[in-house]
Chain A
Amino acid sequence: MNMHTDTAKPVDNGVNVEALLGAREALTEAPEAAQFRWQATSKWMRGTHTRSACEGFFGLGEAQQHRTAFTFDTDHPEVFASEDNGATPVEMVLVGLAGCLTAGIATVAQNREIQLNSVTAVIEGSMDLAGILGIDGDVRNGFDDVQVVFEVDADATPEEIEALVAQSQKRSAVYDIITNPTNVTVQVK
């Protein structure tokens, strides 16, 4: 049973589910509009410090803009003899996973009419530096394991919360990007 079915107060997680469902219907009819191309631009600053920005992207058949340009600094920490001007690129991947899964939880919860009170997570990726440092060719460069621990306070049963978290993984782009291979082409202009 749902705890909230008797309450008068409407569930509000700040997600416009109607709009999303409308978009889903519209994009089923116009599959070409569903073709998106996300973009980041980057510029080397100094040392291991890079500044990247996300502003424009393509979707719904035309160029789109974020409300404003978002910039992100990536660097390496001082233990790597770097200046630590930003999170490491691998931490940015964890940020992406956190953002994607959490957005998914909020959306699914809204759709299932579950009121969220708080959602926090700790995301950890473990890595053996013997890979990127070329010490051991059998060790991969990337994460050997990623752990996400969510704490969700919601007007729902533990099973309903588990189901929210499971469904958010099923529909998460970043979860898919991390868990499945992707063709990557890198060129020099």
Chain B
Amino acid sequence: MGAPRQSADRSASVVIIGAGHAGLAMSHCLSERSIDHVLLERGEVANSWRRERWDSLRLLTPNWLTRLPGFGYQGSDPDGFMRVPELVDFIDTYAGRIQAPVETGTTVQSVSPASAGYRLETDRGVWSAKAVVIASGAFGLPNVPAAARALPPDIRQFTPGDYRRPEQLPDAGVLVVGASATGLQLAEEIHRSGRPVTLAVGEHVRMPRVYRGLDIQYWLKSTGLLDETWRQVDDIVRARRVPSPQLVGTPERRSLDLNALTDQGITLVGRFAGVRGRKLQFSGGLKNHCRMADLKQARLLDTVDAHAEAAGLTLGIGASERFPGTRVPTAPKLDLDLGSGEIGSVLWATGFRPDYRWLDVPVFDRRGRLRHEGGVVAAPGLYALGHTFLRRRKSSFIHGAEDDARDLASHLACYLAGSRMPLAEAV
């Protein structure tokens, strides 16, 4: 890295914002097409993975599935799950392998329309580009409920972006809000640290780690569910909001569900409803949320069984099985008194949304969401990558970047060549 350049504006046909797995996958696809481009990265390659993840985190996908265009897992444990440092190394190695033109330490401060495309202001000078690919991640801002502001100041609040390990938390009970993969994993490790955990459970997706002897991700891939596109699902807005399945990647390949947490002594309560006076309130609908997740899990396993049968895969794999229903307390607690000292902190595992505060292009709906068709954003030459169900159910996974990047690179190449297509044009 040289001294900051403030002098002449620089330009490229395409600027990719962010050098994480998605931006690098796009860089590979553009290089294949000999399209000149640059990646502007606020920190280092794989920056969020280096700085915004908790210590014990492992990927939810097995190593054999963790791949980027032209590059797969090389190690000796294909069924294992990478820890964060291994993943950072994987992405870093990839960046070197594809010779990605990354400008590190360059924070994009604004993107606005310009005569021949876009003008990007950064803390290291101005760039202009005909096209821009937003690959800055889907998890920029935590979705913390507004009611969090009503919590008394002596209750410490964390999100998975700033939580690292249980020792950060006060030596008291912890309320974990959210029952996706993150909520369950963190509830378990915090409870094991001796801080009694109450887990607020809303809508969730239950899945065994291993089914019929094979990783559930194998089944999701093999049934075609991971490749289902945004056009094929009935309600894409809803599909994009489905919480991440209750999974954990461990060497034992164990399942993680609410029953496992109940067995460890974690208290389940309903969805976080709000704060009233000194009390946190929870919905009385816990039974229904758990029942729905049990029914959906059974339907998924029915799909897997039918697929295994039809594809002739049943030989040499385990027997079909169904799992016990989620055990719910007869009368789940409906409130928690913050004055009792029982709870010292709240961890909001309530999801994230992308941070677009720097994007000065009128491409947002009235809810502040990016208007796009499968990543082709509602402004000429603007693309997005790496979001939940952007083009396919697998879009937000590491291995999901490849197909999306290829599709969008193809659309982008046509755009640069001067062809104008509707957003919804199939690519």
* A interface list, Cβ under 8 A from B: 134, 136-138, 179-186
Contact = CB atoms under 8 A, between A and B. Distances in A.
Contact of B281 (A136, A181, A183): A181
A134 B281 CA distance: 24
Contacts of B335: 180-181
A145 to B, nearest CB: 14
Interface in B263-292: 270, 273, 276, 281-288
17 contacts: A134-B235, A137-B238, A138-B367, A179-B276, A180-B276, A180-B335, A181-B270, A181-B273, A181-B281, A181-B334, A181-B335, A182-B334, A183-B284, A183-B287, A183-B332, A184-B285, A186-B287
Interface string B286-316: 1110000000000000000000000000000
A136, A138, A179, A183 pick with most chain B CB within 10 angstroms: A183
Q: What size tier do the contact residues of chain B reach?
A: 20 to 34
A184 B288 CA distance: 8
A129 to B, nearest CB: 16
B357 interface: no
A139 to B, nearest CB: 10
B279 to A, nearest CB: 9
B149 interface: no
Q: Is the interface of B mostly helix, strand, loop or mixed?
A: mixed
A1 B282 CA distance: 43
A181 B238 contact: no
A49 B284 CA distance: 26
B331 interface: yes
Contacts of A180: 276, 281, 334-335
Contact of A134 (B238, B273, B283): B238
A180 B274 CA distance: 10
Contacts of A183: 270, 284, 286-287, 331-332, 334
Given A181-B283, A182-B334, A185-B287, 15 more contacts: A134-B235, A136-B367, A137-B237, A137-B241, A138-B367, A180-B281, A181-B281, A181-B334, A181-B335, A182-B284, A183-B286, A183-B287, A183-B332, A183-B334, A186-B287
Ordered nearest first, which 10 A-B pairs have the shortest CB separation? A183-B284, A182-B284, A181-B334, A181-B284, A184-B284, A137-B241, A185-B287, A181-B283, A181-B281, A183-B331
A184 B290 CA distance: 13
A181 B282 contact: yes
Most buried by A among B241, B285, B335: B285
A163 B235 CA distance: 50
Given A181-B270, A181-B273, A181-B334, A186 B284 contact: no
